[in-house]
Each structure stands twice: as C-alpha cells, then as structure tokens.
Amino acid sequence: MTSAPAAPFGRVLTAMATAFHDDGSVDPDGTARIAAHLVEHGHDGVVVSGTTGESPTTSVAEDGELLAAVIDAVGDRAVVIAGVGTNSTAHSVELMRQAEKHGADGALLVTPYYNKPGQAGVLHHFRTVVEASDLPVMLYDVPGRTATTIALETYERAAEWDTVVAVKDAVGDFARGIRLQQLGYAVYSGDDAANLGWLAHGAAGFVSVVGHVAGDQLRALADTFESGDHAGALEIFTRLLPAIDAVMGVDNYGATTAKGGLQLLGVLDNRNVRAPLVPLDETELEALRAGLVAADLL
C-alpha cells in the first residue's frame, strides 16, 4: 500500500460555484446548498469565491456573506477555504482579514491577473497578503488566466513563510510539481484532466471543478490510488473522461458548466451567472447532459 502525501486541506476539494437569484443578487442559501451537496458527496473541503465562484464580479461584502453561509452550512464537516486573490493587493488584504474574521480554515491566493507583475511584484503581493492574517495559505498558479507563472525562485522565498503550505497547480508541469514538494509544499491538482497524473507525481489531492457533479467518483479515484490499486484508479479516471470533457469543453467553462451540472442534478433551480459570463444555452446544456450520462453521473 502506498502512503498518501500530507494533505493540509484534505484530499478532495472543489472550487465551488456561487448561486445567484434571477435579479443578479447573490443567493447565500443556494450557495450553502451547493456546499452541502459537495460535502455529502465525497468532499473534504470547499473553496468559496474562487474563479469558479465568479469572484471578479462579487464585492467584499458579498464574499463575506457567502463565506459565512458556507461556514454555517458545512464548517463543522469540512474545510472551508476562502478565495482572497485579486489583482489589487489592498483588496486581497481586505478579503484575507475578512476570511479570518469569519472563521475560514484557510485562504486560496492566486497570482495577480491582467496587470502582469514581475516576480518581485508577485512576491511582494503574496507577502503582504499572507502577513495580513494567520490563516494557512494555498497559492494558486494558473498562468492561463493570470498571464504570469510563479517562478521556482519565488516559491523558494514563499516557502520560508510558515503559513504558506500548499499550491494549487494549473501549470501542468509534473516535474516542477515534484520540485515544489521538495520545497515543502503540498501540491493540489488544479486541472481535472490532470488529476490522475498529479496523483502519480505525489500530489495531495484535487481542487476540482468537475467535483460539482462527480464528487463521489473523485473520492474513489483518490482512495483507490492511495490503496495502491493504480489500475483501478485508471479505470475510474477513464470512466470520468466524458464528464471532464463536457465540463471543461465549453469556452466559458467553470461557473457556467458547474451550474449547468448542478441544475441537471437538481441542486439548483437555475444556472444564473454574472456578466461578462453568460449561462449555458440549451445546446450547450444538452452536450453537458450527454457527457454526464456517458460518465454514468446522470
């Protein structure tokens, strides 16, 4: 039997969607239902107000309201991580302090996006936000959205800070991921298509999008791999591929496909998103349904 790597936030997490009312206002009750659904289907934890939670379009007050609702719903059963990353250091500091005040278990801190700071700026941003609270932090490296990749030298410096303990990786460089583990980070897959590959390279677990509709299957994938049954893990992952393709195969995937899946499962009664995103149209929804059916999720 293999030994599971250290997983400071648990092994199976999802960056959860944010529910909205028809008038565009946040729906804390609906968001709490999403959290409960995830925890009841294999999850150790959830991330609130990450990219899939449409954090670029929610205010600090809304983020606090959503975080409080999720902690109230599942905080005694699962790890609750607050997304605090923005492209404004002052804004992120405010979110970090709010997350600690509300009782979050940790924070997800993405590289500043659009303004493309150099590595000195990335390190300064991280340090300023990390030092604003005592919460454990998972850094988030997703150059496809931020246009900046965290350099290994920046990781080396950040590893010196006691509260920075993990990385959500959407770079997809497995060899680099091993080097991050050698620096002391727990590495989490930030790309569902790479989940099995990350397990094979020592990852602690996943921060998923597909987990909205396949939490039990992701739990089985992690547990089966950990047991040493790697062929069985491959079978589980292979069965999930139609769902992964369907969830990740839409141009504006993430919040839109997560909410489409949650509507198909009956967790939500709508698939409302905030502009500039637009909800899945009926053709896209049917393609998503077909992928979930092919993966035996519907």
Contacts of 95 (CB under 8 A, 6+ apart): 49, 60, 63, 82, 83, 84, 86
Query: Residue 86 and residue 252: Cα distance in Å, rounded?
Result: 19
Query: Residue 267 and residue 288: Cα distance in Å, rounded?
Result: 16
Please state the separation of Cα 287 from the chain's center in Å: 23
Closest C-alpha among 155, 157, 212 to residue 178? 155
Query: Residue 236 and residue 216: Cα distance in Å, rounded?
Result: 11
State the catalytic residue, choosing from 113, 114, 116, 140: 140
Contact of 195 with 221, CB cutoff 8 Å: yes
Place of tokens 């959500």: 168
Catalytic, 140? Answer: yes
Contact of 295 with 242, CB cutoff 8 Å: yes
CA angle 239, 241, 244 (to 5 degrees): 130
Is residue 8 reached through a cis peptide bond, with omega within 30 degrees of 0 on the bond before it?
A: no
Query: Residue 241 and residue 165: Cα distance in Å, rounded?
Result: 30
Strand partners, 169: 141, 189
State the catalytic residue, choosing from 113, 114, 116, 168: 168
Query: Residue 232 and residue 117: Cα distance in Å, rounded?
Result: 43
Place of tokens 């030298």: 153
Positions marked active-site? 140, 168
